[in-house]
Amino acid sequence: MNIEETDVLRVRVAKHAALADPARLRIVDLLTLGDLSPTELQSELGMPSNLLSHHLRTLEEAELAMRHRSEADRRRSYIQLAPGALEGLVPGRAHGAHRIVFVCTRNSARSQLAAALWRQASDIPASSAGTHPAPRIAQGAIETAARHGLELADSTPRPLEQVVRDEDLLVTVCDNAHEELPGLNGIHWSIPDPLRLNTAEAFDDAFANISHRINDLAPRLYAA
């Protein structure tokens, strides 16, 4: 066995060892759907903060999880799966959904791109909305979609209350929207706002991030 094979095996062993604990396996199951703050994880799991911190450190050391600061409340952080965390592993959970609604603050970029990408990946209907919708879709989002062969729906951004129904599965794709909707029974994806930099690269990064998450989630959602 060569050195490269040994290193790969060591990483796999560390991941399996970390996932052998029921609490850590549950954390990874939750993170396969979206990003969660330590407080949200603590509430979901019902465990003391010091024990949760131990489990999160173990997952980070095993290269299963990573964290970053919220763009909204800089005192808050979000835990997410590390890139390639589940290669060769299959934890996760399935969900039923009548319709999926992607939500960001202005409904002008991330949520619009997410809804358009979802329609390519799943037969489950999709829509999008904003907590404070902009007058129009961001030009950068339109241009990014076009670069990737995707056409955004010709629609005006809409407020959440005009779109969402009780049976919808909501996916917030920005920290501001997620933190503005406490107790939301849905999924959160902590995706940086491309309009902060307003460059083609920033929009392409957001597009790639959303596309990766949708391709991971779509096979695990079934029509309710």
Report the pLDDT value the prediction gives residue 113, as an integer from 0 to 100. 97
Q: Which residues of the chain have pLDDT under 50?
A: 1, 91
Residue-wise pLDDT for 21-57, tens only, equals 999 999 999 999 999 999 999 999 999 999 999 999 9
Report the pLDDT value the prediction gives residue 38, as an integer from 0 to 100. 96
Give the C-alpha distances (Å, rounded to integers) separating 74 from 70, 132, 180, 194.
5, 21, 15, 18
The three state secondary structure string of 106-125 is: CCCCHHHHHHHHHHHHCCCC
Among 118, 112, 82, which Cα is nearest to 100's?
Answer: 118
35 domain residue, yes or no? yes
Domain boundary among 25, 50, 81: 81
Q: In terms of domains, do 31 and 56 share one?
A: yes
Report the pLDDT value the prediction gives residue 70, as an integer from 0 to 100. 96
The range of the structural domain enclosing residue 172 comes to 95-223
Report the pLDDT value the prediction gives residue 197, as an integer from 0 to 100. 97
Here the CATH number for the domain that contains residue 47 is 1.10.10.10
Report the pLDDT value the prediction gives residue 67, as an integer from 0 to 100. 95
Beta pairing partners, 159: 130
Report the pLDDT value the prediction gives residue 90, as an integer from 0 to 100. 52
